[in-house]
Structure 1
Amino acid sequence: MDLTTSTSSPTTAAPEPITGSCLCGGIQYEVTGEPMKRVMCHCENCRKFTGSSFMANSFMKESQLTIKSGESLIQSFKDTKVDSGNTLERRFCRVCGSPVYVTSSRAEGFVVVPSGTMDGEAGRKWRPEVEFWCKERREYLPVVEGTQALEMD
């Protein structure tokens, strides 16, 4: 699946920037424009990174993300044991542990922003288009209606 191609339809007006932060508020960010894809990932590493049953991700161009404050609080973990074979650079707040964004060795110039850190309406209205690593989905979670479900063998 090509995550660099947008499935969103063009709009006449640019959407409002989306703001977000870590749990302690030390890191503040802004994203502009629509994500290329909205993805739920059920892989073990994403579950462990979020401490939840899945990770809800917005795939964006790196230029769409601006760290507004707290850049010095961003800690990084190089995740090399992922099923896809990519090396993921997982960035999080060193104070509160909240995930902030992720980059991949196979997608230079792109970032993954967790929707759970998005503020207000943008976070509430976030809806996935694709689900990855569905073979690892927790049994109690249903498939989200309208998503493309990928096993990712």
Structure 2
Amino acid sequence: MASTGSCFCSKVRISFEGEPIRQATCHCYDCRKISGSTYSTNLIVPGAGFKLLSGEPKAISKTADSGNTVTSHFCGDCGTTLWRDGPSFGENKVVKAGTLDDVKALDGLKPGFELFSDLRVGWVAELPDTVQKTAM
């Protein structure tokens, strides 16, 4: 199965083959900033099946809340972050779930993990049947 995604203005397009390795929400402060919301929903996909289809994303690297270096890849025109990667993910890519072109695909991709769950804002409920991981 191939999935495609794009930024808000559609200038940067990505794809990945197969099913995600893992689905997770993340409540860390970086994910709040990147998503412009209270958390982000992420799909960890194998790097071998990941492709940049079009566009030239910009990238910014920083030390994340975990202490690891993480690189965010985003559209320089509309600002949408499409994926993140870094040494702690190996060859895998962390695709932002909201960038998927098939909005119905999210129905079958319920997160199994909540990362940095101790940083969750008080009015956001814990997802049922998910593993809760606190900050390192």
Identify the residue that residue 117 of structure 2 maps to in structure 1. Answer: 134
Using the aligned pairs only, state the percent identity: 29
Structure 1 residue ranges (4+ consecutive) displaced by more than 6 angstroms after TM superposition: none
Query: How big is each residue's C-alpha offset from its partner over 1:9-40, in whole Å with a ceiling of 9 and x where there is no partner?
Result: xxxxxxx2111100000011111111111010
Q: Any conservation in 2 of the 1:117–1:123 contact (CA below 8 Å)?
A: no
CA contact (8 A) 1:75 1:91 kept: yes
**Equivalent residue in structure 1 for 2:66, among 84, 103, 107:** 84
Asked if structure 2 preserves the Cα contact closer than 8 Å seen for 1:102 and 1:113, the reply is yes
1:55 aligns with: 40
Task: Render the CA deviation track for 1:99-125: whole Å, top value 9, x for unaligned.
Answer: 111002222211100000011221343
**Structure 1 or 2: more strand by fraction:** 2
- Where does the alignment leave 5 or more consecutive residues of structure 2 unmatched? none
Q: Which TM-score applies when normalising by structure 1?
A: 0.83
Aligned match of 2:128:
145
Report the residue type matching 1:118 in the other structure: L
Matched position secondary structure for 2:88:
coil
Taking the TM superposition and a 5 Å limit, the aligned residue runs for 1:1-153 are 16-70=1-55, 72=56, 74-80=57-63, 82-120=64-102, 121-153=104-136
Which structure 1 segments of 5+ residues have no match?
A: 1-15
> For residues 122 and 24 of structure 1, what CA distance do their matches in structure 2 show?
20
**Counterpart of 1:12?**
none
Contact map agreement 2:29 2:65 (CA 8 A) in 1: no
Distance 2:62 2:110 in 1: 26
Q: Paired residues, what number?
A: 135
Q: Give the whole-Å Cα distance in 1 for the aligned partners of 2:66 and 2:86.
A: 10
Whole-Å separation in 1 of the counterparts to 2:14 and 2:97: 12
Say which structure, 1 or 2, has more relative contact order (CA 8 Å, 6+ apart). 2
